[in-house]
């Protein structure tokens, strides 16, 4: 368990720019976003490290799974549910902590197109009063997108912060067709509702009759 991880890297393209996947034979360590175009940071030069791996076959299975998962996320979200989620091996997942608990709950419970508020996620992780700590956990998420910290929004309906930039968060939410993404583009504020709706609650999407 305490063996040093032999880290490998894989760079892939996404609609938002280059992404670097890192991990070892035992599991995925991280997803990093290179030169993501965000309104916050301006035109960041994509300093892409084109680290080539030893050769074909040298990429550990968890990295390949992650790349396949991300590819589906961007191109073919409908197949996502059927894809394996790679084993996670970042140190943050190897000892019990509130952060780990929060990240696990988020990964397991908040699916494509859904959102959850910081407060709701705190409750899911066992401490309803820890909304602020949930914010901290989101900032230390080593595996954005796969662990969907972009789906955590303010209970007011505001999109909230994102390490990759608010513009990226809005893009991801809009990509998922999430109400929060639409709200960000100037509309209602039903962010927190979709998560409850997903649990079998209020799905009030009757086609409005024209009058
Ligand atoms: Zn490792």
Using one digit for the tens of pLDDT, what is the confidence trace for 42-100?
Answer: 344 444 444 444 455 589 999 999 999 999 999 999 999 999 999 999 999 999 999 99
What's the token pair of residue 64? 């390949």
Q: How far apart are the CA of 60 and the centre of ligand 1, in A? A: 11
24 tagged catalytic = no
Helix or strand or coil: residue 195?
Answer: helix
Which residues pair with residue 13 across a beta bridge? 18
Q: How far apart are the CA of 167 and the centre of ligand 1, in A? A: 31
pLDDT at residue 189, as a whole number: 39
Give kind and range of the element (H or E) at residue 21: strand 17-24
Q: How far apart are the CA of 25 and the centre of ligand 1, in A? A: 7
Among the listed residues 198, 63, 46, 200, the one whose alpha carbon sits nearest the alpha carbon of residue 143: 63
Which residues pair with residue 197 across a beta bridge? none
CA within 13 Å, CB half, 209: 1
Active-site residue identified among 24, 66, 149, 154: 149
pLDDT at residue 151, as a whole number: 97
Residues 17 and 46: beta-carbon distance below 8 Å: yes
Q: How far apart are the CA of 31 and the centre of ligand 1, in A? A: 13
CB-CB neighbours of 69 under 10 Å: 20
DSSP labels, 22-85:
EEETTEEEEEEEES--BTTTBS----------SSTT-S-HHHHHHHHHHHHHHH-GGGGGGSPP
Examine the pLDDT at 196 and tell me if it is beyond 70.
no
Residue range 125-140: mean pLDDT, rounded: 95
Task: Give the lowest-confidence range in 32-36, 37-41, 76-80, 181-185.
Answer: 37-41
Give residues whose Cβ lies within 5 Å of ion ligand 1: 5, 24, 26, 89
Question: d(Cα 22, Cα 38) in Å, to the nearest integer?
Answer: 22
Q: How far apart are the CA of 58 and the centre of ligand 1, in A? A: 15
Q: How far apart are the CA of 91 and the centre of ligand 1, in A? A: 8
């Amino acid at each position: 368990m305490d063996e040093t991880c032999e880290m490998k890297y894989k760079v892939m393209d996404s609609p938002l720019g280059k992404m670097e996947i890192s991990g070892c034979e035992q599991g995925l360590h991280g997803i990093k976003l290179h030169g993501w175009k965000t309104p916050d940071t301006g035109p960041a030069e994509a300093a892409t490290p084109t680290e080539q791996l030893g050769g074909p076959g040298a990429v550990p299975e968890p990295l390949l799974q992650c790349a396949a998962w991300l590819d589906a996320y961007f191109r073919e979200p409908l197949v996502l549910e059927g894809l394996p989620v790679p084993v996670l091996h970042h140190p943050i997942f190897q000892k019990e902590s509130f952060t780990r608990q929060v990240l696990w709950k988020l990964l397991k419970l908040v699916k494509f197109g859904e959102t959850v508020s910081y407060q709701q996620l705190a409750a899911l992780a066992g401490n309803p009063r820890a909304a602020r700590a949930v914010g901290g956990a989101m900032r230390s998420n080593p595996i954005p997108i796969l662990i969907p910290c972009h789906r955590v929004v303010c209970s007011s309906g505001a999109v909230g912060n994102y390490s990759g930039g608010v513009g990226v968060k809005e893009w991801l939410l809009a990509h998922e067709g999430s109400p929060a993404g639409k709200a960000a583009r100037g509309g209602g504020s039903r962010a927190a509702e979709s998560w409850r709706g997903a649990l079998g609650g209020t799905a009030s999407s009757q086609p409005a009759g024209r009058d």
